[in-house]
Amino acid sequence: MKKWPVIALLLVLVNCKTTPKEHTIILAPHVEEIKKELIFPDDFLGIYKGDLMNTTSNGIEIIPMEFHLLPTTDHLKYDYKIYYGAERSERAYTLIQTENPNIYELDENNGILLPVAYSKNTLFSTYEVAGNLLQNSEVFYQDRMDFMITMSVLKNKEKTGEAAGYEVVSYPISVVQQASLYKLTP
């Protein structure tokens, strides 16, 4: 019976709460960083340079690439140029602002005018050329841009099933082109 008082004493000691020590918390003054909201395209004008990774079933090819987004004398139009390879093969286009702030047009300066959607510093376009479906996105950051094109051969489409009465068709991607291009000029 001598065990009961020892057990009771242990239970009392275990359940006794000690008052926590007071901690002094020093709060740093609230520093609010004010960031300027960047406006497309004006805050992203410049020359960007890097390497394009062209991925196909044959492997990966790395190609030097430059992208230029520069002002023109018309405040609604911008020079939009892409240079590929060491030989700097040029693709000279014009990016045109429309009345809709979420829609631009890419004039290939050869009679082809592509609609381009804009959202959150990103340009998106989808188009078909010579039996291929191409999807393009360009994401702009303060110091760089990410460029991506995926290509699917339309004749290779696959019927993948049906859901809720709708047929689902996929377009396997045969080419992926990706580049992170870094801004050379402000």
When the pLDDT of each residue in the chain is averaged and rounded to a whole number, the result is 86
* pLDDT classification of 10: cutoffs 50, 70, 90: very low
CA–CA gap between residue 76 and residue 104 (Å, rounded): 10
Task: Say if CB 96 and CB 77 are below 8 A apart.
Answer: yes
Can you tell me whether residue 45 is helix, strand or coil?
coil
Mean pLDDT over 176-186 rounds to 90
pTM above 0.95, yes or no: no
| Cα–Cα distance for residue pair 44/82, rounded to 1 Å | 15
Largest CA distance in the chain: 103
Q: What is the DSSP letter of 13?
A: H
